[in-house]
Amino acid sequence: MATNTSQPILVVEHINVRFETPDDGPVIAVDDVSLDVAPGEFLSVIGPSGCGKSTLFNVMGGLLGGYEGRVSVAGETISGPHASIGMVFQEESTFPWRSVTDNVAFPLELIGMPKDKRIERARHFIKLVGLDGFENRYPGELSGGMRQRVSLARTLASEPKILLMDEPFAALDEQTRLLLGDKVLQIQQDLKQTTLLITHNITEAVQMSDRILVMTYRPGKVKRIVNIDLPRPRTSEIVGSEAFGRYVAQIWADLREEASRGMKDDETRTMRVDEARS
Amino acid sequence: MTAMALNRRYSLAPLVGLLSLVIFFVLIELLIRIGVVNRFIVPPPSEIIASFSRVILEEDILHRFVLTATECLTAGVMLTIFGVAGGVLMHRFRLLQQACETWVAAMASAPTVLMYPLFLVIFGRSAWTIIMMGFVAALPPVILKTLEGLSSTRRVLINVGRSFNLTPSQQFWKILFPAAMPTIFVGIRLGLIFALINIVGVEFLINFGGLGALINELAERYDLAGTYASICFVILVSVLFFMSLEKAERWLRPFE
Ligand SMILES: Nc1ncnc2c1ncn2[C@@H]1O[C@H](COP(=O)(O)OP(=O)(O)O)[C@@H](O)[C@H]1O
Ligand SMILES: [Mg+2]
């Protein structure tokens, strides 16, 4: 692919993260993960839950220290949150005390943009995520999907070079997720936004990505990187095509192994807890 | 249709509340009239109502009302400033929190009103003794609730701030403080209750100034109806404060 030949903007090299836990001893959450993202590329990281995706997300966002390895943005090694990286979190993260406009204008306020200018800017991004008409509402008055769109617009308003998203649609129902996925794709194409999406949803990953990185379950390693050669622009309609089905099947074959290992792990842990109780 | 029914139920609620109060007083009145309750211990509600004009005209009630309300307001303002500042400091400095949280909590339930002789010595028989008593008694809940609000700010909101590279002071003013606001208001409301109880209590004890002193005087004159009538004015002070606090809260947090 053309995007892969240009100089990568985000490089992650040999990341190792270990957590000390009181019950299970040291847990290796991320094991020697390396990846790179080219400008304008859409990369997804997929893996069963508990495989270390959020940990990796926090490392790349500069929110977690104490790891081995190196993360660099445009050749510069990061040591904390980097101005070029915008993050969208898995949990609900809007500010309930700010209206939709003020939420989205938050990063603009930080750089000292004058009020009328930033409101105008915020409106632009609110429109981009399809929330026009809700500018003066507060998050408490919106549905979960709408709130997640507010978070997305807020991060987009800071115009990050790299957009990092941690399962942004995980809490949404299937229909909302598909429509919001279309929205993200369209925005990504319009803005040529370099995007790294973390997900556990295969359909979502295949629908949107140029490449998909499949992670193993515990310790979280890179299992495989799959190139998705589907034509763009894509919409959720592509989900029905045969090529799409092949990619899904291929990634599912990889993931099934990991997911079942994850389930066994859960079962043994539950059994251990049961034994300890009885 | 359902919205209208709901609306009607809402406007009905205060009416039902008022009605139940009226029924309660009518019942007491009846019990006293038929002699089940001793009228020299509990005065009949009709007598209390009749005594209002006497209390208002003869006992300088307006002046006393203003005095008690001013004491409450002063204590309330001090409470908000020092209580919130205390909570913020304890949140900011971990050592301070570990060192003080337990005894601040202990102080919250201590009967500080018993320390009034000490305050009399320090501040004299003046409104300041009363204000300081109310202030000291009501400070702990404001500190503790501020601390609780700040420390229970959701992790992800703090992470949003960090991802936008906020400075520590921006992190505080733009995220922690607004997130803690609802809990801080709970603390201030609790603090005002504590302050009012203690202020009227100390006025009663040292027989100085406002409504508490009037209750003391009337009780000593065995003017039971008048005593209960003045208690109604204390309730009025508390109602006034809570209404204005609600207004302030609505103004600061328009989204609820
Ligand atoms: N702060 C932490 N302390 C201890 N263990 C943690 C911590 N954060 C995550 N883990 C563990 O690391 C593993 C990976 O977690 P996470 O990155 O959240 O997975 P995912 O996002 O893929 O579901 C899990 O087993 C989790 O229990
Ligand atoms: Mg996660």
* Mean pLDDT taken over chain B: 88
pLDDT at A97: 94
Q: Does the N-terminal peptide bond of residue A168 adopt cis geometry, omega within 30 degrees of 0?
A: no
Up-side HSE of residue B48: CA atoms within 13 Å toward CB? 19
Please tell me the number of the ligand nearest to residue A52's CA: 1
Average pLDDT of the residues in A136-165: 92
| Chain position carrying tokens 């490089």 | A11
Give the Å distance between the CA of A92 and the centre of ligand 1: 18
Average pLDDT of the residues in B101-119: 87
Q: State the burial class of residue A125 (Cβ atoms within 10 Å of its Cβ: 0-12, 13-18, 19+).
A: buried
pLDDT at A2: 43
The 10s digit of each residue's pLDDT in A170-207 is 877 777 787 778 888 888 888 888 999 999 889 889 98
In angstroms, the CA B182 to CA A78 distance is: 36
State both tokens at B50.
């009749």
pLDDT at B213: 87
SS3 A9: coil
* Domain residue extents for chain A: 1-84+161-244, 93-159
ipTM of the complex: 0.88
Closest CA to B29 of B14, B13, B50, B15: B50
Residue B256 confidence (pLDDT) above 80: no
CA distances from B170 to A86, A88, A99 (A): 18, 20, 19
* Mean pLDDT taken over chain A: 87
DSSP per-residue string spanning A151-167:
HHHHHHHT--SEEEEES
Range with top average pLDDT, A135-144, B37-46, B233-242: A135-144
pLDDT band for position B6 (50/70/90)? low
The 10s digit of each residue's pLDDT in A231-274 is 887 877 777 888 889 999 998 988 888 777 777 777 777 776 66
In angstroms, the CA B132 to CA B83 distance is: 13
The 10s digit of each residue's pLDDT in B235-246 is 888 888 888 888
Strands A211-215 vs A42-46: parallel, antiparallel or unpaired: parallel
Backbone φ and ψ for A127, nearest 5 degrees, come out as -65, -40
| Chain position carrying tokens 């399809």 | A130
Q: Is the Cβ–Cβ distance between A75 and A230 less than 8 Å?
A: no
Name, in order, each residue with C-beta under 8 angstroms of B91's C-beta and a sequence gap of 6 or more.
B97, B146, B147, B150, B151, B176
Backbone φ and ψ for A20, nearest 5 degrees, come out as -90, 120
Interface of A with B (CB under 8 A): 61-63, 80-81, 83, 85-87, 89, 91-93, 95-97, 99, 106-107, 110, 138-141, 158
Strands A25-37 vs A10-21: parallel, antiparallel or unpaired: antiparallel
The 10s digit of each residue's pLDDT in A43-53 is 999 988 888 89
The 10s digit of each residue's pLDDT in B193-226 is 899 999 999 998 888 888 888 888 888 888 888 8
SS3 A10: strand
CA distance B179 to chain A (A): 8
Q: How many CB atoms lie within 10 A of CB B178?
A: 18
pLDDT at B235: 87
Ligand 1, residue A53: give the atom nearest the CA: 22
SS3 A132: coil
State both tokens at A144.
């979960």
Q: Check the CA dihedral A58-A63-A66-A67 and report its sign.
A: positive
| Chain position carrying tokens 């500010």 | A95
Residues of A in contact with B160 (CB under 8 A): 87, 89, 93
Beta strands in B185-252 (DSSP E): none
Supply the residue whose CA is at minimum distance from atom 7 of ligand 1: A19
In CATH terms, the fold of domain A1-84+161-244 is Rossmann fold (3.40.50)
SS3 A61: coil
CA distance B140 to chain A (A): 26
DSSP state of A24: T
Could you tell me what percent of chain B has a pLDDT over 90?
41
Q: Does A268 or B27 have the greater pLDDT score?
A: B27
Q: State the burial class of residue A71 (Cβ atoms within 10 Å of its Cβ: 0-12, 13-18, 19+).
A: buried
* Domain residue extents for chain B: 1-41, 43-252
Up-side HSE of residue A21: CA atoms within 13 Å toward CB? 10
Give the Å distance between the CA of B229 and the centre of ligand 2: 62
DSSP state of A220: B
CA distance B253 to chain A (A): 7
Name, in order, each residue with C-beta under 8 angstroms of A20's C-beta and a sequence gap of 6 or more.
A26, A27
Among A63, A92, A97, beta carbon nearest to B181: A97
Ligand 1, residue A200: give the atom nearest the CA: 22
| CATH number belonging to the domain at B43-252, selected among 3.40.640.10, 1.10.3720.10, 3.30.300.340, 1.10.10.10 | 1.10.3720.10
In angstroms, the CA B185 to CA B182 distance is: 5
Residue B1 confidence (pLDDT) above 50: no
Tell me the β-bridge partners of A225: A213
pLDDT at A139: 94
pLDDT at A278: 60
The 10s digit of each residue's pLDDT in A54-99 is 999 999 999 998 889 999 999 899 988 999 999 999 999 999 999 9
DSSP per-residue string spanning A68-98:
EEEEEETTEE-SS--TTEEEE-SS----TTS
pLDDT at A5: 55
Mutate to test the interface with B, among A84, A97, A136, A151 (most CBs of B within 10 A): A97
pLDDT at B4: 52
Ligand 1, residue A58: give the atom nearest the CA: 17
pLDDT at B145: 95
State both tokens at A135.
């500018």
In angstroms, the CA B76 to CA B131 distance is: 9
The 10s digit of each residue's pLDDT in B61-107 is 888 889 999 999 999 999 999 999 999 999 999 898 888 888 888 88
